[in-house]
Amino acid sequence: MTKIIGLTGGIGSGKTTVAKMFSEQGIPVYIADEEAKKLMDLDEIIEEVRITFGNDTIVNNKIDRAKLAKIVFNNAEQLKKLNKIIHPAVQKHFKDWLKIHYSAPYVIKEAAILFETNGHKQCDKVITVVAPQLLRIERVILRDKSDKQSVLQRINNQWSEEKKIMLSDFVIENIDLEKTKTQVDDIIKLLNKI
């Protein structure tokens, strides 16, 4: 039975960078956020978003992600509604993906809101990536061309690092890439024993 290793971390922590490090070692990696973005192009998801958030969120039969982001990132209740639409579709997609990788001893499932959606309960182990908040804000501003206030709002919509660490089996401090790589290698050695 293939083991599922959850990989999570707050926005800007560098979990995608860490996921790539695992992938480079030949470990199958599922990036939930990337798959969720692709699934948002499915007709049934578009229709559910239209019904839940209104016609304004759909432009040329596609979800207007900027409009939808404005609605959900400032409102925890609206974010919950969106997750109820997207999360089951991602779960089903992940199960299908897992069937393809059944021969791997373990796979990495990278998800930003792994704990918030109780996704950690389907994992055999969980890795949380952490970094100082100022560095995280800096990274997101550079990556998304956003402002400090909107990054802070997104951070506040996620669980705190402390809460995630308490429920994690491994913690990677992602400040210096070389040190991060060493931590990944150490975790791979431990995972190869389970």
Both 116 and 191 in a single domain? yes
Please count the other Cβ atoms lying within 10 Å of the Cβ belonging to residue 102. Answer: 9
Both 58 and 80 in a single domain? yes
Domain span at 89: 34-100
What residue has token string 């470990």?
27
Tokens standing for 100?
Answer: 């393809």
Q: What is the mean pLDDT of residues 156-162?
A: 87
Both 116 and 171 in a single domain? yes
Query: SS3 letters for 48-84?
Result: HHHHHHCHHHEECCEECHHHHHHHHCCCHHHHHHHHH
Both 47 and 111 in a single domain? no
Q: What is the pLDDT of residues 74-127, one digit of tens each?
A: 787 998 899 899 989 999 999 999 999 999 999 999 998 899 889 999 999 999
What residue has token string 């209104």?
54
Does 14 count as an annotated binding residue?
yes
Identify whether the C-beta of residue 167 lies closer than 8 Å to the C-beta of residue 120: yes
Q: What are phi and psi of 36, to 5 degrees?
A: -60, -40
Of 70, 85, 100, the one marking the end of a domain is 100
Identify whether the C-beta of residue 80 lies closer than 8 Å to the C-beta of residue 86: no
Both 165 and 124 in a single domain? yes
Both 96 and 108 in a single domain? no
Q: Is the pLDDT of residue 14 over 80?
A: yes
The mean pLDDT value of the chain amounts to 93
Q: What is the mean pLDDT of residues 125-139?
A: 96
Q: How confident is the model at residue 158 (pLDDT cuts 50, 70, 90)?
A: confident
Both 131 and 180 in a single domain? yes
Q: What is the mean pLDDT of residues 179-188?
A: 97
pLDDT score, position 36: 92
Q: Is the pLDDT of residue 38 over 90?
A: yes
Q: How confident is the model at residue 150 (pLDDT cuts 50, 70, 90)?
A: confident
Both 2 and 57 in a single domain? no
Domain count, the chain: 2
Give the C-alpha separation, 37 to 19, whole Å.
17
pLDDT score, position 32: 94
Of 69, 100, 131, the one marking the end of a domain is 100
Of 85, 100, 115, the one marking the end of a domain is 100
Both 22 and 108 in a single domain? yes
Does 16 count as an annotated binding residue?
yes
- The residue that leads in pLDDT, 19 or 150, is 19
pLDDT score, position 49: 96
Both 109 and 19 in a single domain? yes
Both 21 and 84 in a single domain? no
Q: How far is CA 102 from CA 13, 32, 98, 117, 179, in A?
A: 29, 18, 6, 24, 31
Q: What is the mean pLDDT of residues 124-152?
A: 93
CATH number, position 87: 3.40.50.300
Does 12 count as an annotated binding residue?
yes
pLDDT score, position 153: 83
Buried b (16+ CB within 10 A) or exposed e, 49-79: beeebeeebbeeeebeeeebeebbbeeeebb
Both 162 and 89 in a single domain? no
